Amino acid sequence: MLTIKAVQPHSPELVDFLALPQKLYGKGHLMQSPEEEASLISGTHPLSPEIEVRAFVGYQDQQVQIRGLLTYYPVDGTCFLGYFESLDDVDTAKQFIAYIANQARNLGAEKLIGPVQASFWLGYRMQLSGHEDLPFTGEPHQPAYYPKLWEAAGFKLTESYLSNFYPKVSPTTQEAKLAKRYEAALAAGIKIRSPHKSDWSKVSLQVFELLNRLYQDFPIYRSLQGGQFSAIFEKYRYILDFSMVKLAYQEEKLVGFLITMPDYGALVYQKLNLFTLAKLLWIKHRAKRYIILCLGVD
């Protein structure tokens, strides 16, 4: 019989909640930030003032089988299910998600959306293929059986996305259309440059203001306050290769951005020590693959 318990800060259930992913994933596949999860549960996350969070773990014979975090937005009654992890057991997943769905109904929600890690800004979506491959930084990654569990519990696929891989362009490659557009942009007074690491606090807010307007139509998108955005993304200052961050200005107004990041895989989620720090620095300066985090043009 499945026993479901609520997770409270500084409780044995919190320890179990945080530990379950480590039992399911190998080191190169674990994409978990225990600090982020714990701060959401304790109410100390930058998003905490706007949300209600309820975390749960499910036990079978006193062994953790499944976990999930329900996020409720009182402003409009939206409920998200995220930080979901489970053993491969359909009956367990159905019981657990039915319990979560009932909690959402008690809060007044008409539907439950997932997987969403509390917010658009923290992570959403479920991987549908390529589970055997090592993950790339920032993308969803989970066991191949998760879609089966969610579908058995009554979820239906409503949005789908493709991840595209582009080969490196040779310096000798000539693209007439690209060159023409670049020249037209320069003629219009647009200047493209890379920011310095020391300017990230200022630059990231400029990007946020434009992104916040351009991304309004994205599924599950929610606006943030500038301070919340800064608190969440300040850490990117240390892992971005700023030579691969491009900003477009017209009369000193930001009109476009391209934010890329070296692909660190799961390394950025591992405990920082001298060994992982050395690997991070190596990848940062000798990256074989970059990830486009976000881009936009006004």
Domain with 217 in it: 176-297
Write out the two tokens for 50.
């706007």
Q: What CATH number has the domain bearing residue 229?
A: 3.40.630
Q: Mark whether 61 and 200 lie in a shared domain.
A: no
Q: Mark whether 120 and 198 lie in a shared domain.
A: no
Using CA atoms, how far residue 100 sits from 34, 107, 173, 272, in Å, is 21, 11, 54, 34
Q: Mark whether 205 and 266 lie in a shared domain.
A: yes
Q: Mark whether 241 and 109 lie in a shared domain.
A: no
Q: How much is the pLDDT for 208?
A: 94
Q: Mark whether 43 and 138 lie in a shared domain.
A: yes
Model confidence at 103: pLDDT above 90: yes
Q: Mark whether 18 and 130 lie in a shared domain.
A: yes
Q: How much is the pLDDT for 107?
A: 93
**Maximum distance among all Cα pairs of the chain, rounded to whole angstroms:** 70
**Residues 179-227: tens digit of each pLDDT:** 899 999 999 999 999 999 999 999 999 999 999 999 999 889 999 999 9
Q: Is residue 54 included in any domain, yes or no?
A: yes
Write out the two tokens for 128.
């549908």
Using CA atoms, how far residue 173 sits from 34, 96, 206, 260, in Å, is 44, 54, 32, 21
Model confidence at 138: pLDDT above 90: no
Q: How much is the pLDDT for 206?
A: 94
Q: Is residue 275 included in any domain, yes or no?
A: yes
Instruction: Give the DSSP H or E segment for 23.
Output: helix 12-24
**Residues 20-76: tens digit of each pLDDT:** 999 999 889 999 999 999 999 999 999 999 999 999 999 999 999 999 999 999 988
Q: Is residue 166 included in any domain, yes or no?
A: no
Q: Mark whether 228 and 116 lie in a shared domain.
A: no
Q: Mark whether 126 and 25 lie in a shared domain.
A: yes
Residue 177 C-alpha from the chain's centroid: 34
Q: Mark whether 189 and 76 lie in a shared domain.
A: no
Closest CA to 100 of 112, 86, 115, 116: 112
pLDDT level of residue 272 (50, 70, 90 thresholds): confident
Give, to the nearest 10 degrees, the angle between helix 200-214 and helix 226-233. 120
pLDDT level of residue 151 (50, 70, 90 thresholds): very high
Q: Mark whether 78 and 110 lie in a shared domain.
A: yes
Q: How much is the pLDDT for 58?
A: 98
Q: How much is the pLDDT for 219?
A: 86
Q: Is residue 65 included in any domain, yes or no?
A: yes
pLDDT level of residue 174 (50, 70, 90 thresholds): confident
- What's the total number of domains in the chain? 2
pLDDT level of residue 284 (50, 70, 90 thresholds): very high
Q: Is residue 160 included in any domain, yes or no?
A: no
For the ranges 115-119, 168-172, 251-255, 266-270, the lowest mean pLDDT is seen at 168-172
Q: How much is the pLDDT for 125?
A: 92
**Residues 75-89: tens digit of each pLDDT:** 888 999 999 999 999
Q: How much is the pLDDT for 173?
A: 85
Q: What CATH number has the domain bearing residue 12?
A: 3.40.630.30
> What span, in angstroms and rounded, lies between the C-alpha atoms of 126 and 160?
9
Average pLDDT of the chain to the nearest whole number: 94
Q: Which of 137, 152, 167 is the last residue of a domain?
A: 152
Q: How much is the pLDDT for 1?
A: 87
Q: Mark whether 7 and 85 lie in a shared domain.
A: yes
Q: Is residue 164 included in any domain, yes or no?
A: no
